[in-house]
Each structure stands twice: as C-alpha cells, then as structure tokens.
Amino acid sequence: MDVTDHFGGRMKKGARMTRIFFPQFKKGKQGIETEKGSILDSARTLGIEIPSECGGRGFCGKCRVRVEGEGILGPRTEAEKSFKLGRNERLACQAKVLRGGSIRVFIKSTGRYAILSDTIEDKVKLDPFVYRKNDKVFWQDRELDKSRDGIYGLAIDVGTTTLVSQIIDLESGKRIAAFVDNNPQTSFGDDVISRIDYTMRKKNGLRELQNIVIEGINGGLGRTAEEKGKILNHIYEAVVVGNSTMRSIFFGVKVSSLGIIPFEPLTCEPINRKAEELGLKINPRANVYGVPLIGGHAGADALADIISTGIYLDRRPSMVIDIGTNGEVIIGNKNRILTASCAAGGAYEGATINSGVGAVEGAIKNVGIVNGRVRYETIGDKPPLGICGSGLIDLLGELLKSGIMSRKAKLKESFFITPDISISQQDVYQLITAKAGLRLDQDLLIEYYSITLREIDRIYLSGAFGNFINPDNAILIGLLPRARDKVVGIGNGALAGARQMLLSREKRRDAERIARKIEHIKPNEREENFPYMVAEKMYFEEDDNQ
C-alpha cells in the first residue's frame, strides 16, 4: 500500500526510504529517494551543486543548507557544532538520513557569475576546420551534415571553479553567445587535488566527475538554445581548454598520475572526440578538440594564454600571469618559453575566505578606504553578497596604506566592509600564502630566463583579474612586480586562445608545435630552500626587484 507523505511524495508503507527535495532546482523538484547517505550525496547524485571546499569532510562549513522537515536526519555532528548554525541549518556533508520521510533542502545562492570579457582582438585568418562545400558541412574531409543556415563552433574554458563558453560563427568569426556557470565539481572539493583524490578513491569517480562537468556545460547550452533557437545542432566543433586535471577529466582521461610524484599527466597530446561520445549536446557528429597540455599542472589553459597573447611570435620576452585556483606564470618570446604553476588555492577566487565569493553579480570587486570610511563597487551594481579576488587584493592594499594592517600582515581585529562582509586574520593569512607562491614563481622565472624585469616588454594578466584588478594595489601587496607601465589586463585569455584555435587551423598548428618546446619548470623541486623562499614573499616589505 502506498501512502502520501506531508510533501506530496509517494512512499511504500513501512519503508525506511526518504525523499529529499531541492525545490530551487528543476531537477530537484521531484526529489530523490534514498535510505542512507548525506544531503550532499543526494545532491551530487542529482547533479545539484552544493559548495564543499573540503570535499565533504566537514572542515570548511561552506555546504550550509536550510532544511524543512523534522525527525528525518541524524543529530548534529561534532563538526556541525563547531559552526554557528541557525535552528534549521545543517552542513550538507554531515546531515545524514536516519529514518524515512521527506525533507526540503534550500541551498544558499552565491549569485550569478559575471560573463568576463576579453580585450584580445582575434587577428587571425578565418580558416576553421569546419567548412561548407556543395551544400554540405565538412570537418576536414569528413562530411558532417547537409548545409544549414549557419555553421558554429564552441570555445570552452573548463576552470577549476567556473565553466565559461562562447558560441562563434565560424564563417564570420562573430561571437554569437556566451555563458558562464560555477563548475559543479566544486561540491567534490575546491581544488584539483581533491578531485584527483576522488577519482582514485571512488570506483566510478572519474566518470562521475566527467559527467557532471559536461552536464554543467549542457545546462548553459540549453539556456542559450532557449534564447537563440535551434542553434545547438549547428555547432560542428568545440575546442576545450583547462588545466591538466580539468581538461583530462572532461575527456575521461585518468588523472591519478597528477596526484603522485612526478605529478605528470598521462598524456599531453591533443585529443579529438565526437560530441555524442562525450554526451555534449551539440551536433552529435561534431568534433571536440582538446588542446594539448604543456606538462605537470601547466595545462591547455596556459597554452591558450600563450596563443592569445602572441608572445610566442614576439622578439622581446613578455610575461603572462593567470591567477586562479592554480596559478600560472609564463615568460618567453619566439625563441624560448618557460612556464611554472603553483597551487594558489581558492583564496583569490573567493574560496577559503569567510566572506569570499567568485566573480558573481553582487561580489565586491573594488574597495577604497578614505578617512576610515569604506567605499566599494560590486559586479553588476548589485547588493553586496561577498568579496571576490580583485576586491580582496584592493582590500589588502587599502588596509596596508591606511595602517589598519601592518607590514607583517597583522590585523588587530576583523575588518568589516559591510555589517555582514568582513576579513579576518585567518583570511589574510590565506591570501598572503597564496600570493607568495605566485610571486616567487614570477621572480624565479625571470632569473631562470637570465633577464631582468626591465627587459620584459609586457606583463599580461589573464582571468577575472584582467577585468577587475587594480594593478597599483596588486603591486603594493607584492602580488605583481613593480612595473606598473608594463601591466596589461586581457580578461579571459584562455578562452580567447580557445576561440582563436576554433577559427584558425594555423593557430591550432602553432599550439601543437610550441607545446612540445615549452620548458615547464618546477621551482619547488629545483630550489632546495623553496619553503623558506615562499615565506620571505608572504609579507609586505619593500620590493628590491626593479
């Protein structure tokens, strides 16, 4: 006999089955049946993202949810008791099903990600691999389809934190649409090591992470189709970039070798797959191209930065800095290119910071302190809901200039931007630790290249920082070298590189050619005193590197 629970779900009489509803999401409105496990487990099964920087171990407290329905879940754990939770709040990773019934779970909204522009002009000859001939569409010499109204391509940047995509008209080079979402893999941990570990511990972990990231991109494609009509079946090629872990997971390539010494990918070679094999909801016969990796954790995104900036064509050496969960530093010219990568952590993408958020609408992007009063701007001019990376850099600089924070990075007490948004001493420690490794890589690559800072032509900033960063404050806190006149923000350089490789066979050949020649340096292995060198870069002393 069936009985109806108090939320309208159907259950078998006497069964211990629980139905968990996620009313904020279309795929969660019907709920999911479970008889064990946590709220986080159920959300993952449905493909619903709940932030979990620690990968569900109860350390970070970011998977806080509001629960309606009593007596279904077990009591609060010791981990939950260590956080100031409201009466109806639980940590999704700790709240486990105890008995049958129904509950509703509400996830705190983190805002809608801003679509980052890039300032790079695509100076490429339009020569894509997809073309139209005799009323048919071809990829190289392979016939894909009958001729249709348009021929489109898809550029995808699979970031550790965000998924960013553009749809491009392959016959005109025009950008048709763009969309960005949080990478739903963040519910498995905010860094690549957590996700590598998950694939090694869970039998089908790799497949699970692959499916969830492709579903994330398909979600953006679906929203675009609603606005642009029947465009998805006209997308005949996709170009995918990302760090070594993200690009490999996207294509279902094992990443365990990236988690153990010597931390190298299984393969650095380019990848070609059909869209239907991956489950990507574009034309089923479309080619999906994975840009080559450089080596170690220097991936296809770093290579795409090199392509989009064109430093590999220049006589004078330039530097590229891509600040994300994984920090990338590149220096080079047409004769030689060096790269280094460091695990910057999620600090400058809003993770590991109490009031931190990504580059979402409502994120505080710029901060000023004048006569003790705080002024700020938010992305999209929305009400403030947290502070993103560029705002954190500004805040550190302003605290330093105003004397509220010492040159040893000490705060007397937490500093509040709004009554609900603040920075603590622990937050400052996270930020200076992240910036120290990135800055050390910059200085060491200059040294390894046997040049001085004065000989560098340009310093390109890629990523959200390229859109919002205040270079003066970044230099003041030591995140960037003292060369203000050389700094150029380019926005999402990795996505721009993917777009160029979508539009130009020459750019794709260039990428495959130079990927084999780039020298990937691992300063932490090369420098005997590396930990001490990082420590020296943590605080805000005068910079002699001029």
Name the amino acid, one letter, at 254.
Answer: K
- Alpha carbon 328 to its chain's center: 13
* CATH superfamily label, 130-302: Domain of unknown function (DUF4445) (3.30.420.480)
CB crowding 104-116: b at 16 or more within 10 Å, else e: bbebeebbebbeb
Beta bridge partners of 166: 155, 178
Architecture per CATH, 2-107? Roll (3.10)
Residues in the chain, overall count: 546
Q: How far apart are CA 113 and CA 162, in angstroms?
A: 8
Each residue's pLDDT tens digit, 359-415 = 788 889 999 998 888 999 998 888 888 888 889 999 999 999 999 999 999 998 999
| Torsion, Cα of 333, 338, 343, 348 (10° steps) | -20
Q: Would you kindly state where each structural domain of the chain is located, as residue ranges?
A: 2-107, 130-302
β-strand pairing of 235-242 with 287-290: parallel
pLDDT tens, per residue, the chain with 546 residues = 333 333 334 434 444 678 898 876 767 778 888 878 899 988 888 878 787 767 778 887 778 888 877 778 888 898 888 877 777 788 999 999 888 888 888 776 556 666 665 666 677 899 999 999 988 999 998 999 987 788 999 999 999 888 999 999 999 999 999 998 888 888 787 788 889 999 998 899 999 999 999 999 999 999 888 877 789 999 999 999 999 999 999 999 999 999 998 899 999 999 999 999 999 999 999 999 999 999 999 999 999 999 999 999 999 999 999 887 778 999 999 999 999 988 665 667 666 777 887 778 888 999 999 888 899 999 888 888 888 888 999 999 999 999 999 999 999 899 999 988 889 999 899 889 888 988 999 999 999 999 999 999 999 998 766 667 888 999 999 999 999 999 998 888 999 999 999 999 999 999 999 999 999 999 989 999 999 999 989 888 654 443
Each residue's pLDDT tens digit, 167-185 = 999 999 999 999 988 888 8
